[in-house]
């Protein structure tokens, strides 16, 4: 179900909502949550906001199927992320 407020007011409709970000350890607004994976939102956006408003409707309204696919990829383990970054820095990965 598409969130009516989101549909009417666009992608910034929920930007003013605030919550504690478990990744950063500080309060953030939806305005942050929809940007860090630019053009995709944070991968935790569903977990963090489903209790507060219709985040599923918001995402399906404003993002493509492929973008939603990227969002729903789970976060890599920290060691895996680091080793991937090493490979990227050494030019082994693009």
> Contacts with other proteins in 42-81 (CB under 8 A)?
42-44, 46-47, 50-52, 55-56, 59, 68-69, 71-81
Q: Smallest gap, in angstroms, from Cβ of residue 83 to other proteins?
A: 6
d(CA 30, CA 87): 32
Confirm or reject binding of residue 12 to other proteins (CB under 8 A).
Answer: no
Q: What are the distances in angstroms from CA 90 to CA 52, 76, 86, 93?
A: 42, 20, 6, 8
CB 45 within 8 A of CB 71: yes
- Binding residues (CB under 8 A) for other proteins: these are 18-28, 32, 35-38, 42-44, 46-47, 50-52, 55-56, 59, 68-69, 71-86, 88-90, 93
């Amino acid at each position: 179900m598409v969130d009516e407020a989101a549909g009417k007011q666009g992608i910034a409709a929920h930007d003013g909502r605030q919550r504690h970000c478990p990744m950063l350890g500080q309060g953030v607004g939806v305005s942050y949550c929809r940007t860090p994976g630019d053009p995709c939102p944070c991968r935790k956006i569903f977990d963090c906001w489903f209790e507060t408003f219709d985040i599923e409707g918001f995402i399906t309204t404003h993002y493509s199927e492929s973008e939603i696919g990227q969002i729903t990829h789970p976060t890599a383990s920290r060691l895996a992320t680091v080793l991937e970054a090493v490979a990227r820095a050494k030019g082994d990965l693009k």
